Amino acid sequence: MREVWWISLIKAAILINLVMAAFAYTTWLERKLLGRFQNRYGPNRAGPFGLLQPIADLLKLIRKESFFPQAAYDVPYILAPIVSTATALAAFAVIPFGAGWTISHHHINGEMANVSIALILLFAFGSIGVYGGIVGGWASESKFSLLGAMRTCAQLVSYEVSLALSVLGVVLMGQSLNLAQIVAKQGQTIWFFIPQFVGLLVFLFAATAETARAPFDLPEADSELVAGYHTEYGGMRWGLFQTAEYINMITLSALAVTLFFAGWHGPYAPLGPLWFFIKLFLMVSFFIWVRASVPRLRYDQLMRFGWKVLLPVATINAVVTALLVVWVK
């Protein structure tokens, strides 16, 4: 069954607002968890338990002067953060969070867009989003921003291949590129994190690098005391880059839940989307835990780990899975 267009519009509006709210409170969750890991409180002044801190941060960014470097290339400089945020939001549209429902004789899909090649589309959006950081660093007409953009390009190229190869085993076992069908296959058989445990490990490493999260946060030049490709950005333009980073983390966490942990399926009661969001919360918390626990890598270690470790392991995992699938058939 296909849902009518006005239901899709309502669902899109709700989903975008939910993702934006999830981004805002992921920043709160990260600061709270990092505080606990480091034996301090974290945000605790704006509202009870600091729950109004994301709103305070938003108001500060909106009111803050958004400076414009005199030598910057105007149009690319302004469009770069918009492209990063827009593609990050669009990528979440293909993530299924439920099996679908029928309300008052109207069918509602369990995802924003049910696409037969959803996995390829999601990776395509991620590849387009990379241009936001690269163009933003170049258009700033600053050597520090340009160096940050070059590091971003090198890191994402290094780990994007491993990220794609890590899910090939899941595609072969699910026999589809449609994410909803992959989830349904896990509901009928076994959660894919068990036979694809190696693929899951590679996916987690590559996803951390793709989102430039610690310990793979080399696009930000910590040793140079600058921020990387968004050094010359301020105010809400800088805020859009941060929005894109957190939404990408949420999207890749949701993708891990979908591909390896059976999406909305649970170990017992059929709670549907609730199981999906519980798993998503745990996956996002895992990324924060890694940031608090693992030392920052050097750039040479980062590149060597990508090409010499993850890429061969992901390739071997995909080949072995293909041989097993052929042998079983």
Q: For position 328, what pLDDT does the model report? A: 75
Query: According to the model, what pLDDT value does residue 222 have?
Result: 67
Q: What is the pTM of this model?
A: 0.92
Are 169 and 196 in contact by the 8 Å Cβ rule? The answer is yes
The count of structural domains within the chain is: 1
- The string of pLDDT tens digits covering residues 168-179 is 999 999 999 999
Burial class (CB in 10 A: 0-12, 13-18, 19+), 151: buried
DSSP code for 191: -
SS3 233: coil
pLDDT band per the 50, 70, 90 thresholds, residue 81:
very high
Q: What's the CA angle centered on 106, arms 7 and 117, to 5 degrees?
A: 60
Name the range with the highest mean pLDDT among 92-106, 192-206, 262-276, 309-323.
Answer: 192-206
Q: What is the mean pLDDT of residues 25-39?
A: 92
Burial (CB < 10 A; 0-12, 13-18, 19+), residue 20, is: middle
The residue type found at 55 is I
The answer to whether residues 218 and 302 touch, using CB atoms and an 8 Å cutoff, is yes
* pLDDT value of residue 119: 93
Dihedral of CA atoms 205, 152, 283, 243 in degrees, nearest 10, equals 180
Predicted confidence at residue 227, as pLDDT, reads 81
**pLDDT score at 186:** 93
> Would you say 162 and 314 are in contact if contact means Cβ atoms under 8 Å apart?
yes
Task: Note whether residue 47 is domain-resident.
Answer: no
Instruction: Note the pLDDT of residue 71.
Output: 86
Q: For residue 32, tell me if it sits in a domain.
A: no
Nearest to 285 by CA among 64, 70, 28: 28
Average pLDDT, the chain: 88
Q: Is residue 276 part of a domain?
A: yes
Provide the domain limits for residue 74: 66-328
Residue 23 lies in a domain: no
> Residue 34 falls within a domain, yes or no?
no
For residue 212, name the pLDDT band (cuts at 50, 70, 90). Answer: confident
Q: 43 lies in a domain?
A: no
Q: Are 98 and 110 spatial neighbours (Cβ–Cβ below 8 Å)?
A: yes
> Tell me: the pLDDT tens digits for 97-124?
988 888 878 888 888 888 889 999 999 9
Please give the sequence-ordered ranges of beta strands (E in DSSP) within the chain, or none if there are none.
101-103, 106-108
In this predicted model, which residue has the larger pLDDT, 32 or 157?
32
The fraction of the chain above a pLDDT of 90, given in percent, is 47
In a domain, 56, yes or no: no
Residue 178 has which token pair? 């449609």
Q: Is residue 314 part of a domain?
A: yes
